[in-house]
Amino acid sequence: MAGSYLDRFALNGRVALVVGAGSGIGEAGAHALADCGAMVVCADANGAAAEATARAIVSAGGKAEGATVDIVDGAGVRALVDGIASKHGGLDAAVTTPSINVRKRMLDYTSPEIDKVLGVNLKGTIHVMQSAGRVMAAQGRGSIVALSSIRSITTEPGQSVYAATKAGTVQLVRTLAAELGPQGVRVNAVAPGAIETPLTAPIKDVPDWYEAYARKSVLGRWGKPEEVASVIAFLVSDAASFITGAVIFADGGWTAADGRFDPKV
């Protein structure tokens, strides 16, 4: 092994794209990759928020630039990715985090609501993976990280379409990992648990709901975006060079125990 183990976590000289960098896990992920040495393109449908994240990184001594992209727009995603590769001489990492949820019972879902959730969470994720994958396959290297969720394997009332998209994301990751492995491209998923982000903000407004989620984690609390961002940075780095097609759960032990009863044994 060339270099130290610490060197394997460094991203110096790497070019990374983080989609969804305007807030939540995407914002934290952009900061994490920049802190590790990468030049980060912070992209988001909210261009002002993406630019704000990029400015914060630069102010902290990192390298970043902002961009506006709607992942539902496949042509727009491809233009962004190709533009990054042309400007910076390649693309070493791509992280896609945007997701939406419509919390309602399956029987009450409308067709437009189904299309909306599928459009962002699955179709949008595919667009990022396709565009980044094409560039990385051509250059013979790269790492793609997509955000799944604990809802990929466990669900609750009101989570039907969201849960389906997160399970689907896992299969997209596994398939692309199998297809691009021979070209030196790694593809992985991170599955967060209860993380305090704009997506989960409505839960915090209901104390009983918020506390129930905290108790479900074996750590007894919610997670923070930076705790997921650290996993993203690891998967992007050479420290994860033999990890592909994997799903890493950052859920505080949510999926490790049922949490319904603590037997006296």
**Catalytic positions, please?**
162
Q: Kindly state the tokens that stand for 78.
A: 């491809």
For the packed helices 111-118 and 160-180, what is the interaxial angle rounded to 10 degrees? Answer: 30
| Nearest CA-CA partner of 176 in 145, 139, 140 | 145
Q: What is the DSSP string of the chain?
A: --S-HHHHT--TT-EEEEETTTSHHHHHHHHHHHHTT-EEEEEESSHHHHHHHHHHHHHTT-EEEEEE--TT-HHHHHHHHHHHHHHHT---EEEE-------S-GGG--HHHHHHHHIIIIIIHHHHHHHHHHHHHHHT-EEEEEE--GGGT---TT-HHHHHHHHHHHHHHHHHHHHHGGGTEEEEEEEE-SB-SGGGHHHHTSHHHHHHHHHHSTTSS-B-HHHHHHHHHHHHSGGGTT--S-EEEESTTGGG---S-----
